[in-house]
A and B are shown apart, each in its own frame.
Chain A
Amino acid sequence: MMMRRILAAVLLAAGAPVLACDSPGADYARLESPRFVLWMATRPAPVPIGSEFAIDAVLCAKGATSADAVGFDAWMPAHRHGMNSRPSVRALDGGRWRAEGYLFHMPGRWQFTFEIDTASGRERLTHDVELD
C-alpha cells in the first residue's frame, strides 16, 4: 500500500503519462497491457534463489492515460503463495524505477506482477520466470 502511494505521488509529479516506450537496455523484458508498456530487468540477472534482488522498471502509457499507482509484487501461481517480503520502490533518473526487497525462496515458476491503477480501472502486467 505504502509503495503504491509513493509511486503515485512521484508519477504524478513527473506528469508521467507519456514516456518513450523504447527498450531501456538489452537485458529488459517487455510487458504489455491494453494501455501500458512496462520494461523490467532483474538485478542481478538471472534471479538468484534464496537471496535478495531488485528490479529496474520503466513504465510508459501508450496514450494519454496516467497511472495513479503501481503495485510491484510476485508470486508462485501453482502454489498460490507469494513472497515473504514486500518490495519497496524508488525513482531512479530517466523515468526508471528501482524496486528492492524481492526474494524468491524456492525453485519453480514465479510470476512478477504489476498492478496499475488508473482513473478508469486497474490493469495487470505479468512476467514469468522459471527458476531451477
Chain B
Amino acid sequence: MRLIALLAAALLAHDAAGGLLDFTAAELRAIERHGPWPPPAPRDPSNRVSGNAEAIAFGELLFFDTRLSPNGAMSCGRCHQPGRAWTDGRRTPGGVIGATGRDALTRNTPTLWNAGFGRWFGWGGGSDTIWSFSLRPIRHPLEMGSSAAHMARTLRADPELACRYRRVFGEAGKPDEALLVDVVKAIAAFVETLVSARSPFDEFRDALARGDRDAAARYPLAAQRGLRRFVGEGNCSVCHFGPAFSNGEFGDIGVPFFVPSGVDSGRYAGIQRLRADPHNLLGRFNDRPGDAGAARTRHVQLQPRNFGEFKVPGLRNVAKTAPYMHDGSLATLSDVVKHYSELDENRLHTEGERILRPLRLSPQASADLVAFLESLSDTGRYVSGAPSRCASRRVQ
C-alpha cells in the first residue's frame, strides 16, 4: 500500500517535471507526419489573383464590408469572426441571422483557419474552390442575400472599392456576373492567407524530429499520452491526417444528420451540388482550365456511402472553435472525446474492419486526449494586413 502511494507520488512528480514517453519508431513516424508547420502558402491555380498582395488587401476589405449585403447588416466577417477563430461561436448561425426553426441554417460555421489547404469546401464539399463556395453566402437569402447587381452597384459607387478593383482586375466595365466572380476571387485570395501559427505540438514534433529530447520533454505528458492514443489505438490520424489534421475527404462518425426539413445527406448532396455548379473547376470561370487541379472534380464519384458523410475538419486551433461537428451539436472538446469513446456502432455504416470503435476511455485517458487537442492551438492573433487607402481622398 505504502509502496503504491510512493509510486504514485513519484509518477506525479515526474509528470510535473516533464518527461518523455518512450515512443516507438512507428509512433514517431506517425507523429512526424503531422508536420512540418507551416507548410508553403496555399495557392489556387484556378484563381488568377491567388497570392496577389493587392487582391488580398482588397479581399480583406470586402470580407468585412457589410455593404455587400443589401440590408447593410451582414458580411462574411459577421459569421467568420477573427476573435472567435473565424467562427461565430454558435451552434448554427441562427442567432447571427435572426432566424430560427425550419428557416434557420442547419450547419455550424466552420473556422477559416487553414481553409486554403482544402480540396472541397463546405461540410458536404459542394464546392471545389473557396471562391466558388463564397458565392453561396453572398447569394443565400438567409446569409448575405445579395446579388451580382447589388455587388456591382456597391463596387462601382464607392471610390475606394472601385479603385482597388481597378488595381487588381482592371476596368470595372464588365457584366455584373463577371464582376461578382472577380470579387469572390479577391475574397478567396484573402481567405487563403489565414494559416494558423505554430502550436506547442509543432515544437514537440520538431524537437522529436531533430532528436532533441530535452526540448521534447517540455511538452506536457498528458498531451503526449493523448497524442499516442491519437496516432495509435484511437486511429484518429487515419482521417485527421497530415500537417492540417485532415485528409481533406469525408467520413461518417455517427453524428445524427436529421434536420427540421428531413435529412442533411452531407457529401451525397455535396457531390450533386458540385456537379451542377456552373462555377466549378470544369466551368468557364476557372482561370487555368487545363490545370491538373481540375481533375479532382472530373473524377469525383457519387456512391451510396457518401450519404451522411461530412468533411473531416482540420484540428489546428480546434480548442478555439467550439461548438463542434457539422451541426454544432457538441459543446466542448470533452463532449467530442466522449462521442468517440461511447460511439454507437449501429449508427456507422461500414462493411469492413472498422476504423472507428468505441474507445471506452477512462476519465484520465479522455483528459489526455483533450490535452493533446488543446496543444494544437497557436498563440497567434489575426493582424489586419490592409494597407493605406487606394483612392485619393480628394477625388470623389
Interface residues of A (CB under 8 A from B): 49-50, 52, 76-88, 100-101, 103, 105-108, 132
Contacts and interface: CB of A to CB of B under 8 A. Distances in A.
A106 B238 contact: yes
A129 to B, nearest CB: 16
B364 interface: no
Interface in B237-277: 237-239, 241-242, 247-250
Contacts of A103: 296, 299
Interface of B: 26, 29-30, 237-239, 241-242, 247-250, 292, 295-296, 298-301, 303, 305-306, 350-353, 355
A106 B299 CA distance: 18
A79 B353 contact: yes
A107 B352 contact: no
Given A50-B248, A81-B350, A107 B299 contact: no
Given A49-B241, A49-B242, A50-B247, A88 B299 contact: yes
Contacts of A86: 299-301
A84 B241 contact: no
- DSSP class of A's interface residues: helix, strand, loop or mixed? loop
Contacts, number: 71
Contacts of A80: 350-353
Given A78-B352, A81-B350, A105-B249, A52 B296 contact: yes
Contacts of A78: 352-353
Given A50-B249, A84-B249, A86-B301, 16 more contacts: A49-B247, A50-B248, A52-B292, A80-B350, A80-B352, A81-B351, A81-B352, A84-B306, A85-B299, A101-B298, A103-B299, A105-B249, A106-B239, A107-B237, A108-B238, A132-B29
